[in-house]
Structure formats: structure tokens, C-alpha cells
């Protein structure tokens, strides 16, 4: 384990203890190697009583630990059905009330990116931020022509902080792979790799601007969602300039009621937007917590969403997209056998899974949720129960679907707040069925054929010479089939490592036995017995220490 990672782990533990959240420390099995730090820590011995509530202490600890932990709190804040009210209320403050950094620093960073004084590019710039988030903060400004915009700037030192926390996550994932029996199914290292790509994308504001432009094209002219305009001439990797919108935050329910908002239409539109993004556009906003969503109320009877913060977007492999749609429709139709069959065909559960057993498990989970309003259904609970059921069938986490699952839970959380009687099945089913019909329409098929026709022609042109060459080589006995030996190499490394560990354990045991016999016989030179015991301990520790493997982060 690298020294800076160890220091970070100790600091995380120290922050939790200092905020009197030490129950989390004791409950975290992955902190066993650092248990001695907790026992000897002065923060443990001399804890002061605090006037703050447990929810306030948790929020403050997450803020102090940095952006990755703040984002974790943001995700939790939308799941009021899974959290006590006091914790949900306090974590909601993380969505747009993260402590800001000074506006003078923001101004200096923007001027450094532009290479010119700010007044030469903008008519006005407000140093007091409009909002501060975990990765960046936003300031109001005006272009030289008077148009109102917002300027988003990364927090100083953010890239170095993210890099360290990602390394910490890799360390914890490596520990989990070694000590946790569920790691093979949950794939912690793959999950961290997937999250690493997501969080690093958020650090490039040009990428966020491109995401916003794509989403704006997808919903151009739509009455469902408005996406602000990007001003490309003012954007840099650490600065983003975008049209300022004047809407009501989705979390300000009192103001929405005061303006006569149709909450049912608003909730149904949110579900339709989600399924449209995922299945029709295959490009979805994946950070839909209340701090990133506003409502435009030119006509309160037909409210319109407006989205901001496009740092996290998701896409799906076409195969996963099709299987997901078919799974959703099978659940809507209560065709549980098809749900089980699709899970096997997609590879989400092993091929030898018994379809009838899985069908029974899915029926047990899904049947009770139908014919009920959303206020009586918790998707969080259903997903957890389904997760428990799939464990019986050695079902594995699909890292590429994590963003989609997170976004679906956020959409449910918003729907629950806006209109508890929303029938999410009735709202989503028409969107999915329309998409499935469009996929097999002759016009869609012809469009796909026209799109792929040039590639098909190139392949057909290349086939005759390739086939002729293969025939010549076969006739001359020169045809060779190549095979990939990487899997065999990995297996050989595993076997060698097991033998390496076994040998050291045996040597360590023999040395320890020798030390015991030396002391039991009261022989001269007791230092020899101590040396044997020390050597045995070194052998035993070296056998427990994981060796670095190719393609895997070094966590020791």
C-alpha cells in the first residue's frame, strides 16, 4: 500500500471519528488492517460531545472528505424511502449548498484560462457564486452583447484530489477482492474503473459542453425538456459558459404549488424524459438530482423541465439496450419466464441457471408491486430484493449499467416528491412499446441498411482475395491458426502464486515450530529462538501479502 493512500485511509477514519461517526469505522470490515489506529487514536479517547445532530455530523464529514464522498451523499439524499427523514433532509443540502471557494480565486482561474483580463471577455462577472457543487461552482455573468450567462469553473486542486481518492478506491477494491467472498460477483475493481471514467469525464468542462449540445439537439423543439445554449467561444477545459435559465428549482415544492404547477403532468414528463433518453436517444443525463433540475412555468398547466450540469451522461451497448427494453416490457406484461430467459441470454446470470427457478424468484419479487401507486412502491426495496434473489443464481453486477440504475433511482425519488400517486408503469410502457415498434419499421430498417451499406461493400470487396490467399496457404500446408494464450498465462501465474504462498506458509510454520521447541527445551542462546520466530512471522506475512499482477492496480 502506497504511503499517501495509507495516510488518506487514516484521515478518512480520523474524520469519521472526529465527527462521532465511529460506528461506521467499527462496522467497516475493510478497515481491519487499520484497527490499531482507531484504538490508539486520541480522537477516540477524548471525543467531545457535540450539539450537532447525527445528520449534521454526517453531512459535515462528507463535505470534509471531498467530492467523491459529497457525490455519494447526493445520491443518497434522493432515497427518502431508505433513509430517516433527518438524514435525508441534511444530505439534500449537499446538492447545491457545498461551501464555495472565494470568487477572487475563480476570477483568477478564468483569467488564466483565457490568457486575458476578464473584463475583455465579459461585460459583468459576479464574484459571489450562484451555487457551489462538489466539482465546480457557478457564477452569474453577462456577455459583451448583454446576454445573461453562467460561468462554471473547476475547484482549485480538484484533479490531484480526485486522483488520490480514486487510488484509495482501488486500494479498498483490491482488499475486497482478497477478503470478501462476494467480490467475484460484485466485481469491485470493475466498478471502480467504471466510476473512474465517469469522474474524470466530469473534470473536462469541454466534454460537458459537448454533452449539453448533444442533449439539446436530441430534445430540439420538445415540450418536455429545455437545454441551455452553450457559448463555445468562451469554453475551456476548466471553464464553461452557458445560457442562464430562470426557472424554479425542482425541490422548491412550495413555490411550484404557489404558481399552480400541474404536478401530475410534471411527474409523468420526468418518467417519459428518462425512458426517451435511454431507449430512443441512447444518451441520458445521469446526474438528475434535484440540484440539477429546474421547472419552466410559462404555462403552469404544461410545466417544462430544464436541466443543467451535464458532466455525467450515459450510453448503452445496443445489445444491453435491447435486452433492457425487453426486460422492462416483460415485467410490465408480468411475463416472468421471459425475464428469466432474457437474463440468461444476456449473460447476466450463468448459462446453466434453471429458468423455472429464476422465474419463480422474479415472480415473488415483482407480483406484489403491481396495481399500486408509486407511494406504495419502493424501487429501492424491489431492487435490493431482486439483488438478493439473483445472488442464488450467481448473478453478477453489470458495471456498464450502474449509471442507468443510479439515474432510475433518482427519477423515482423525484417522482415520489412531486406526485406520489404516479403510475410509473402506465407512463413508461407506451414509450418502450413505441421504441420497439420503431426498431422493426421498414423505414428504420432501410435507414440502418443505408448507413451500413458502405462498410458492407468494403467487406465484400475484401473477401475474394482473402479467401484465395487462405486456399493457397491451405494447399501449401502453410495455413496457421493463431490463438490467444493470455488466459493460459493468467492461469499459470495463479498456480505459481498459490505455490509461492503455500511454500512460505510451510516454511513459516516450520520456523515457528522450531522456535517453540527451542524455547521449550530451554536451550542456550535464546536469541536463536527469537530469530526463528521472527523469520517464521516474516514468511507468514509475505505469504498473505498479494503480489502485483499485470493489468491490476498495485494496492500494496
Q: What is the mean pLDDT of each run of 10 residues along the chain (556 residues)?
A: 73 77 55 51 52 83 80 65 72 70 93 93 93 88 94 89 84 74 67 77 92 95 94 95 94 92 92 90 86 91 93 85 84 86 83 88 82 64 65 68 74 82 79 80 66 68 73 69 63 71 71 68 66 70 53 40
As a whole number of angstroms, the distance between CA 554 and CA 546 comes to 9
pLDDT of residue 465: 77
Domain co-membership, 272 together with 386? yes
Residues 106 and 137: beta-carbon distance below 8 Å: yes
Q: What is the total count of domains within the chain? A: 4
Q: Please report, for the chain, how many H helices and E strands are present, in that order.
A: 23, 11
**Which 3 state secondary structure label does DSSP give 101?**
coil
pLDDT of residue 326: 86
Q: Name every residue whose Cβ is closer than 8 Å to that of residue 480 and which is 6 or more positions away in sequence.
A: 473
pLDDT of residue 549: 44
Is residue 25, in this structure, part of any structural domain at all? yes
Show which residues are catalytic. Answer: 287
pLDDT of residue 555: 38
Domain co-membership, 275 together with 422? yes
As a whole number of angstroms, the distance between CA 266 and CA 298 comes to 14
Domain co-membership, 196 together with 251? no
pTM for the full model?
0.69
pLDDT of residue 305: 95
Among residues 405, 430, 449, the one where a domain terminates is 449
Is residue 123, in this structure, part of any structural domain at all? no
Domain co-membership, 262 together with 169? no
Is residue 454, in this structure, part of any structural domain at all? no
Residues 137 and 101: beta-carbon distance below 8 Å: yes
As a whole number of angstroms, the distance between CA 339 and CA 329 comes to 9
Is residue 48, in this structure, part of any structural domain at all? yes
Domain co-membership, 371 together with 441? yes
Among residues 421, 449, 477, the one where a domain terminates is 449
Structural domain harbouring 429: 247-449
Is residue 474, in this structure, part of any structural domain at all? no
Domain co-membership, 289 together with 414? yes
Domain co-membership, 522 together with 418? no
Domain co-membership, 388 together with 519? no
Residues 67 and 14: beta-carbon distance below 8 Å: no
Is residue 108, in this structure, part of any structural domain at all? no
Alpha helix stretches (DSSP H) within 78-157: 85-91, 103-114
Is residue 543, in this structure, part of any structural domain at all? yes
Domain co-membership, 45 together with 177? no
Is residue 366, in this structure, part of any structural domain at all? yes
Among residues 94, 110, 126, the one where a domain terminates is 94
Domain co-membership, 274 together with 400? yes
Domain co-membership, 368 together with 507? no
Q: Could you tell me if residue 135 is left (phi over 0), alpha (psi between -120 and 50 degrees) or otherwise beta?
A: alpha
Domain co-membership, 174 together with 270? no
Amino acid at each position: 500500500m502506497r504511503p499517501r493512500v495509507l495516510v488518506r485511509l487514516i484521515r478518512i477514519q480520523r474524520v469519521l471519528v472526529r465527527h462521532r461517526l465511529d460506528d461506521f469505522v467499527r462496522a467497516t470490515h475493510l478497515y481491519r488492517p487499520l484497527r490499531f489506529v482507531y484504538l490508539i487514536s486520541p480522537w477516540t479517547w477524548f471525543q467531545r460531545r457535540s450539539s450537532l445532530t447525527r445528520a449534521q455530523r454526517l453531512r459535515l464529514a462528507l463535505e470534509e472528505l471531498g467530492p467523491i464522498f459529497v457525490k455519494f451523499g447526493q445520491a443518497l439524499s434522493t432515497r427518502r424511502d431508505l433513509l430517516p427523514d433527518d438524514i435525508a433532509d441534511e444530505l439534500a443540502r449537499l446538492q447545491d449548498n457545498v461551501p464555495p471557494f472565494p470568487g477572487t480565486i475563480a476570477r483568477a482561474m478564468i483569467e488564466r484560462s483565457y490568457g486575458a483580463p476578464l473584463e475583455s471577455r465579459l461585460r459583468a462577472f459576479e464574484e459571489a457564486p450562484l451555487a457551489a457543487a462538489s466539482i465546480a461552482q457557478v457564477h452569474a455573468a453577462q456577455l459583451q452583447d448583454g446576454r445573461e450567462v453562467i460561468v462554471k469553473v473547476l475547484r482549485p486542486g480538484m484533479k490531484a484530489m480526485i486522483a488520490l481518492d480514486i487510488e484509495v478506491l482501488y486500494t479498498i477494491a483490491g482488499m475486497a477482492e482478497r477478503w470478501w467472498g462476494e467480490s467475484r460477483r460484485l466485481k469491485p475493481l470493475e466498478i471502480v474503473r467504471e466510476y473512474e471514467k465517469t469522474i474524470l469525464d466530469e473534470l473536462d468542462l469541454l466534454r460537458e459542453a459537448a454533452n449539453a449540445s448533444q442533449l439539446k439537439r436530441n430534445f430540439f423543439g420538445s415540450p418536455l425538456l429545455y437545454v441551455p445554449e452553450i457559448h463555445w467561444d468562451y469554453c475551456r477545459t476548466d471553464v464553461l459558459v452557458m445560457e442562464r435559465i430562470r426557472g424554479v428549482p425542482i425541490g422548491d415544492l412550495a413555490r411550484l404549488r404557489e404558481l399552480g404547477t400541474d404536478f401530475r403532468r410534471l411527474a409523468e414528463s420526468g418518467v417519459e424524459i428518462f425512458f426517451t433518453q435511454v431507449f430512443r436517444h441512447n444518451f441520458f443525463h445521469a446526474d438528475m438530482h434535484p440540484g440539477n433540475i429546474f421547472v419552466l412555468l410559462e404555462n403552469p398547466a404544461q410545466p417544462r423541465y430544464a436541466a443543467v450540469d451535464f458532466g455525467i451522461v450515459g450510453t448503452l451497448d445496443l445489445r444491453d439496450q435491447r435486452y433492457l427494453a425487453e426486460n422492462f416490457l416483460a415485467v410490465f406484461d408480468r411475463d416472468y419466464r421471459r425475464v428469466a430467459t432474457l437474463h440468461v441470454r444476456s449473460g447476466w446470470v450463468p448459462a446453466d441457471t434453471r429458468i423455472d427457478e429464476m422465474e419463480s424468484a422474479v415472480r415473488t419479487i415483482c407480483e406484489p408491486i403491481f396495481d399500486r401507486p408509486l407511494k406504495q412502491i419502493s424501487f429501492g426495496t424491489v431492487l435490493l430484493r431482486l439483488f438478493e434473489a439473483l445472488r442464488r443464481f450467481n448473478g453478477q453486477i453489470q458495471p456498464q449499467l450502474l449509471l442507468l440504475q443510479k439515474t432510475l433511482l433518482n427519477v423515482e425519488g423525484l417522482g415520489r416528491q412531486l406526485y406520489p400517486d404516479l403510475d410509473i408503469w402506465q407512463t413508461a410502457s407506451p414509450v418502450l412499446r413505441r421504441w420497439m415498434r420503431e426498431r422493426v419499421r421498414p423505414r428504420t430498417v432501410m435507414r440502418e441498411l443505408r448507413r451500413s451499406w458502405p462498410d458492407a461493400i468494403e467487406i465484400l470487396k475484401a473477401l475474394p482475395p482473402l479467401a484465395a490467399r487462405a486456399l493457397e496457404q491451405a494447399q501449401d500446408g502453410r495455413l496457421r491458426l493463431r490463438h490467444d494464450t493470455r488466459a493460459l498465462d493468467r492461469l499459470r501465474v495463479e498456480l505459481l502464486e498459490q505455490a509461492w504462498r503455500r511454500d512460505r506458509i510451510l516454511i513459516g510454520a516450520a520456523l515457528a515450530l522450531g522456535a517453540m521447541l527451542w524455547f521449550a527445551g530451554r536451550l542456550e542462546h535464546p536469541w536463536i529462538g527469537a530469530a526463528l520466530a521472527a523469520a517464521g512471522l516474516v514468511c507468514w506475512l509475505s505469504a498473505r501479502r498479494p503480489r502485483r499482477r499485470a493489468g491490476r492496480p498495485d494496492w500494496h
